[in-house]
Structures are given as C-alpha cells and as structure tokens.
Structure 1
Amino acid sequence: MPDQADIDAALTRLRAEGYTDAANDQQLYGELTRAAACYEAADGADSPMPRHWSFATDAWAPGSPAENAATAAAFRVLDAERLGRAS
C-alpha cells in the first residue's frame, strides 16, 4: 500500500497531466475508477494498456508496482473529489 507522500506525488503528477477538477467533472461514466483499476492491475512499467483504459493512449504510463499502486490510489482520490463536488 502506498504511503500518503507517494499518493500526493501521484496526485500532483496527474493534475499536471490534465486531470484537473474541470476535466474530472466531465467524467460521468466511471472513467476515473476504471483508470484506478487499470493501474491496480498493472504489474510493472511494461504492462500493456488495458482494453478498458478510458483515456488517450499516450496517457497510459505504468511504472513500478509501487508507483502503479500510488497512481491507482490517486485516481480514486480524484474520483472521490469529483463525487464530492457533484453532491
């Protein structure tokens, strides 16, 4: 399980890559949750892009298992924030 510092770093990276509040608020069909699941299933930097990846092909960038776990957690945080803004 990633620690909070790793998750925060992944959140910073994802936001810099364009996963902003405004962009995330447009994701109404589970795209962020699917992205988290894709990274949870990735076992290393050479993991192939899953068929159910919701974003651009070049946005798929797995790393080490620890980095993938942090990225998955960060996608879940982004989706929780999106849901919080929607309520």
Structure 2
Amino acid sequence: MEDLPMNTREAIAARILDLCRERGITPNGLSNISAVPQATIKSILNGESQNPGTVTIKKLCDGFEITLGEFFSTPTFDALEQEIY
C-alpha cells in the first residue's frame, strides 16, 4: 500500500491508534485512563472532529503517560505539509 500524505487530523488519529496498540489498550480503555469521553475519542478516530483541542490531546497524553512533545515527536508529524485555508 502506498503512503498517502496525511493531514493533521489523520496524523493525530493514527498516533492515538498506534499508542493504543503499543500499550495493548482499546480506545474505550483509553477513555477510562484519560478521562476523555468515549464519544470524543471515537469522533477523533473517525475523522469527525475537525480540530481536536490541545486540552483533549493533553488528557490523552496523560492517559498514555507521555508528554505532548512525545506525542507529536514522530516522523509523521514532522512530514506534515503546512495547512493553509
């Protein structure tokens, strides 16, 4: 499968799924440990959330026991193109 360029939303969703897989937790489990509602996580993962807030991502990071810097410090985020609307 060819790597298609991602937008920021897709990169965030992919990073959350990767971290869940690495830690052996489900998105519902992530909801429990991060205090982020399941509906919010589902919305981010399904691309329905147009702009997941920094506070939400920080709570998810707290659940994963990582910093915001660790969340965003990946080749995927480094390769994102500038999004100008």
Query: TM exceeds 0.5?
Result: no
Higher-RCO chain (CA-CA 8 Å, sequence separation at least 6): 1
TM-score (norm 1): 0.29
